[in-house]
Amino acid sequence: MKVLIHETRETATGCAAALIADRLASEPDVVLGLATGGTMEAVYADLIARHRDSGISFARAQSFNLDEYIGLSPDHPCSYWTYMRDKFFDQVDFAPGHTHLPRGDAPDPEAEAARYEAAIVAAGDIGLQLLGLGANGHIGFNEPTSSLSSLTRIKTLTRSTRAANARYFASDDDVPRLAITMGIGTIMRAQDIVLLAFGEAKAKVVAQMIEGPVTAACPASILQMHRKVTVVLDEAAASAL
Ligand code: GLP
């Protein structure tokens, strides 16, 4: 695990965006694993600027997002499909059909999860996976006690995760209770992983992830077992290390 501690979240964001840009330059048809959440918004803004100003291109790349809420269609304003279109896809040059998220409105979510896992395998697995970190140690929506070898499947969101994400919805009750998420085993097959965490609120869980025991109680701790993980932190998120 390589841990990079930056003075500010701005330079940390730039560092993560540069890792992605470098990978695209050396491997234009890379399969990117993408994440949502507040931390990622600045990463996508940085990549959009690099696309506009430095000509980095996603035209040959593919992307698979980590997760989607069950019950929300791709057009729902709070779906991760909408987040990705608004904050990234509509402003860069992915080829049509090269960006993938699970369908939250699939009539059979279990079959949709299996289809999504198979699509990732068929694409040759993820080359570079971008991850955020839930305050409870989740990656994707793999909540504490998730099987450390799980594949894409349905997960019930914890009360704390629903509360953390309620800011995106009109009311707490509107936050879906279930999601389809890549499994921890799916994520661990990625060649390279870049995880970002910022702010003091993440300091404790960052320390658990990096220095604590490998345990399903903190799903991100499994990253200690991955060969090529880069953790990018600001000083506040690194303050309990
Ligand atoms: C959601 C996403 C996670 C993300 C987490 C952290 O729960 N499913 O993939 O890592 O939010 O979000 P934030 O960056 O807003 O703290």
Q: Which residue in the list 46, 68, 112, 143 is annotated as catalytic? A: 143
Q: What is the pLDDT of residue 123?
A: 98
What is residue 169's predicted lDDT score, i.e. its pLDDT?
A: 95
CA dihedral 64, 175, 238, 41 (to 10 degrees): 50
Q: Whose alpha carbon is nearest atom 6 of ligand 1?
A: 134
Confidence of residue 198 (pLDDT cuts 50, 70, 90): very high
Mean pLDDT, range 130-136, rounded to an integer: 97
Give me the pLDDT at residue 105, please: 98
pLDDT at 15: 97
User: What is the pLDDT, as a whole number, of residue 173?
Assistant: 92
The string of pLDDT tens digits covering residues 61-83 is 999 999 999 999 999 999 999 99
Share of the chain above pLDDT 90, in %: 99
Rounded to two decimals, the ipTM of the complex is 0.93
Range 115-124 average pLDDT: 98
Which pLDDT does position 71 carry in this prediction? Answer: 97
Determine the average pLDDT of the residues in 115-138.
98
Q: 123 alpha carbon to ligand 1 midpoint, in Å?
A: 25
Interval between CA 37 and ligand 1 midpoint (Å): 4
pLDDT for the residue numbered 112? 98
**How many CB atoms neighbour CB 190 within 10 A?**
24
Nearest residue (by CA) to ligand 1, atom 5, is: 134
Provide the pLDDT confidence category of residue 34 given band limits of 50, 70 and 90: very high
Q: Give me the pLDDT at residue 107, please.
A: 98
Sorted by where each starts, the structural domains of the chain and their CATH numbers stand as: 2-51+59-219+226-231 (3.40.50.1360)
Determine the pLDDT at residue 129: 98
Exposed (0-12), middle (13-18) or buried (19+): which is 189, by Cβ within 10 Å? middle
- Does the active-site annotation cover 165? no
pTM: 0.97
Mean pLDDT of 36-46: 98
DSSP per-residue letters across 193-229: EEEEE-SGGGHHHHHHHHHS--BTTBGGGGGGG-SSE
Taking only the tens place, the pLDDT of each residue in 86-101 is: 999 999 999 999 999 9
Question: Active site includes 108?
Answer: no
Task: Tell me what pLDDT residue 85 has.
Answer: 98
Residue 138 falls in the annotated catalytic set: yes
CA pair distance 85, 237, nearest whole angstrom: 28
